Structures are given as C-alpha cells and as structure tokens.
Structure 1
C-alpha cells in the first residue's frame, strides 16, 4: 500500500478505473447469489463455533498462560478474517461487486485481508514454537514467552504484518473468479509484463517460504521430541495428554502449512490453463482453515471443553486404582542405586 500514499502515479497506473466501464461484464456474470449465500453461511457457522472458544480462552484461569494468550490472539485474528474473507466476500458475490465498483473500499479490504493472513501465519508458527518449548522444557518456554515477553511477540506480529502489507499489493476479491487475487482488473484488462512484475513481487513469496521452512522445522523437532518422550513415559495419563497436544499441533501446523503453500504458488496456479477452476478452491480452503481451530479445540482440547461444560469426565487415576492407603516400608540403598526392601 506504499504506492497509495507515496506514489499516486504508480497507483493510478495499476488501479485506475477510468479506462473501462464496470458494465462491460454483465451483472448476471458477476453476480453469484447461491455461492455468496453459501459463503456467508459457512463464515457465520464457523464464527459462531469460534465465539464460545474465545470466551473460554478469555477466562482468568486460562488467559494467564502464554499458550492460551496466543490462542486467544489467534482467535481474534481468525474471527476478523472470517468476517472479511467469508461474510464480506459473500456479499460481494451476491451483488457482483468488482474492484471498480467500490475501488477504495475494495482496496483497503484487500489490504486488511492480506495483513491478517500474514498475522495468522506468524501467530500459528509462534504457537507451535511455544508448544514445542513447553513440551521439551517448561522453564525454557517461560523464558521465551512468560510475562511481558508475550507483548513483545504480539508487537512483532503487528510490525511484520505492517511491513508486508505496506509493500505487498493486496489480494482483492473478484466475484467473476470467486477468489482473492492480486489482479484488480481481472476479467476486464489483460495483464502486461510491467503489471505482472508489479502485482506479483517475489519477496513476499520468499517471506512465506521462510515461514514454511520454519514451521516444518518446528514440527519436525516436535515430532522427534514426542517420539523420544513417549518411549520414556510410564504414566498412562501423561501419555494421553501429550498425545492430545501432539495431535492438536499436528493439525494446526498441517493446515497452516497447506494454506501458506497455496499462497506461495497461487500465481503459478492462476497461470495454468485450468487455473480458473483451481483458484476458487483457495477461497474455501482459506475460510475452512480460519474456522478450523475451534473444531480442533472442541474435539481435542479437554481444558476448553471443561470451561464450556462440555466434558464432565471424572479424573481417573492413571492405573485405575483409587483410595489405596499408603503403608510404610523400610529400604536399603545399594551402591548402584537400587532400593532393597528390609525384611
């Protein structure tokens, strides 16, 4: 968006709407009432699933913990993104709103969506890192995420998001293609070489590839530690808890990886002969991705389920034995550390 403020000539070159009339593409080709209604319904359902989880995450018992602070922040980003990418986009599809119908609003809507996308990616990556450190060493996790350090992470997210959004041309919703693309005049004007070089800069792809590599590295380390730790675990209850954490991180990491991969190669996919059939799936994949955390939390996170009174399972002793009275026993310790009962 730097050209919006500092280079109006360049902005007019690529975002000028005076060279054609919106009605060049008939309204019936731009309007997709059924698609728009389904998109709004999907976004509304996922948002309604998310709101109770946000309420549970905001409870004092949970919000004091760094991982739940990250989850709460991620939830705020996801809900905002659902409103922008599902509910607003659905309305655009119903009314056939293209970029030049409302250029200023559509431009800033795209800037918001692009910024939230990168914020979500970085938050998901940090959440995976937090879970990895907590899984490996609680004190190490506290050193990186405890106290006011969480404020540093959130400010870092906003700083990087602003930097990316400032220089990366926004993804603008186009009802003709039913997707978010960086080509504001799709369906009206063919791209030339200069426009393509401007609208598809390479460095944001490098940034997303860096996040992809970091996410892969974090998850690989998480997997290695989990396998190593599982071999040493004796208590069944702890093993189940670790497995639940592992599965949650697995799903969130895989979904984040998939969406980031799609973003990285969306330019290449759109250039394929059948790209117009592939790119719309990105929109629904992205919406489902934004709404996936509450589904994972409600299915796998017992802490959130208990906060919402959805899990009343009583606590069971790890070996299934309760009310056992302790009795004293005398032992001698041998030179090699073995305890030998005294008869």
Structure 2
C-alpha cells in the first residue's frame, strides 16, 4: 500500500496494465461458476453465523472480561478477512477477474487479505497469552488486563495488522487459478523484460 501512496512511479512499474487492452486482459480471466458460488456460499454462511456472535460478545456482561474484548477484535478482523477471501474471491471467480480487469478493487482486496490474516494471528497470540496468564497467575492477569488495560494490549495486534496492511505486498486474486498470488500477472504470458524497459 505504501507504494501506491508514496511511490506512485514504482507502483506503476509493478502494476502497469498497459501491455494489453482491456478486452485482451478480460480474455485471460476464467469464469468459474462452481468455485465462485462455493466461495460466496461459504462466505455468507460464515458471516451470517459471525454477526450474532459479535452482538452477544458485545453485551456488557461479556465485554467486561478481557478475553471477550480480544475476541471481539478478532471477530472484526475475521469478518473483514472472510469478506475479502471468500465473498470477493467468489465474485472475482464469477466474473473471471484478473488484476488488470479490476485493478483498484483487486488491489484493495489483495491488501486486506494478508494483512487481516496477520492481524488475526497476532490477536490469537494475545488471546492465548491472556488465557494462559488467567490460568497460571490470576494476579498478573488482573494486573495486566483488568478494565481498560486490555485496550492498551489491543494496540499491539492493531499495529501488526496496520503494518502488513501498509507495508506488505498485496496478495492479488487471479481467476486463472482461483487463488491469490503476489504476482499481479500470474498466468499471463508476455515478454516482461521488454515491457519493463
């Protein structure tokens, strides 16, 4: 993401779609209705199940506990991740998208996909530490996580999530293989050395 914001010239070098016309780029994509419908169906099921759980966790009787605060952040990250990795991937499969057919949308989804995964991993580690401390030493658990102190701890996975959102390369979805790749032109053959000069 930082290349898009701070180094536009380098971004254009990495993600330049000018080698082919829009119709030529569309011809590279592969519409895959079974995969697209599967991704979207699974995504809808997960999102529909997740939203009521988020409401339950946000109730005062639960959210007072540090573990529920951490799980609530994890739920937000997971909802974003499922939207990107399931619902949007399904849409991209249904329309046969490659990077250059929907550059801005595919790029933004590609930025949120790996960063959400990294943010979820960091949040799960924080949750594991919280639960471990609660079992081993309730005194230190209370000392470190009591009340609003948990929100200070939530800054750590938030910063980790933001770091990968801003610094890491996006994982670009390609309908050619119905998967994400760090190469925006995966599966497209053209003389890159000539084009990059």
Same fold (TM over 0.5): yes
Larger Rg: 1
* 1:25-40 pair list within 5 angstroms: 27=27, 30-40=30-40
1:154, CA displacement in angstroms? 2.0
Separation of aligned partners in 2, 1:95 and 1:21: 17
Displacement of 1:118: 1.2
Partner Cα separation in structure 2 for residue 116 and residue 56 of structure 1:
22
Tell me by how many angstroms 1:22 deviates.
4.9
Compared CA separation, residues 109 and 28, structure 1 to 2 (3 A): closer
Give the drift of 1:10: 1.2
Unmatched segments (≥5 aa) in structure 1: 194-343
1:109 paired to 2:109: yes
Give the 5 Å matches for 1:1-343. 1-24=1-24, 27=27, 30-189=30-189
Change (3 A) 1:26 1:173: closer
RMSD: 2.1
Q: Distance in 2 between matches of 1:23 and 1:145?
A: 56
User: How big is the shift at 1:185?
Assistant: 0.8
Deviates more, 1:23-32 or 1:4-13: 23-32
Structure 2 alignment gaps of length 5 or more: none
Aligned residues: 193
Q: 1:132 to 1:99 in 2, by over 3 A?
A: same
Tell me: CA distance 1:58–1:11, structure 2 relative to 1, closer, same or farther (3 Å).
same
Counterpart of 1:173 in 2: which secondary structure? strand
Determine if contact 1:24/1:188 at 8 Å carries over to the other structure: no
Counterpart-to-counterpart distance in 2, 1:79 and 1:58: 15
- When normalised by structure 1's length, the TM-score is 0.53
**Distance of 1:67 and 1:33 partners within structure 2:** 40
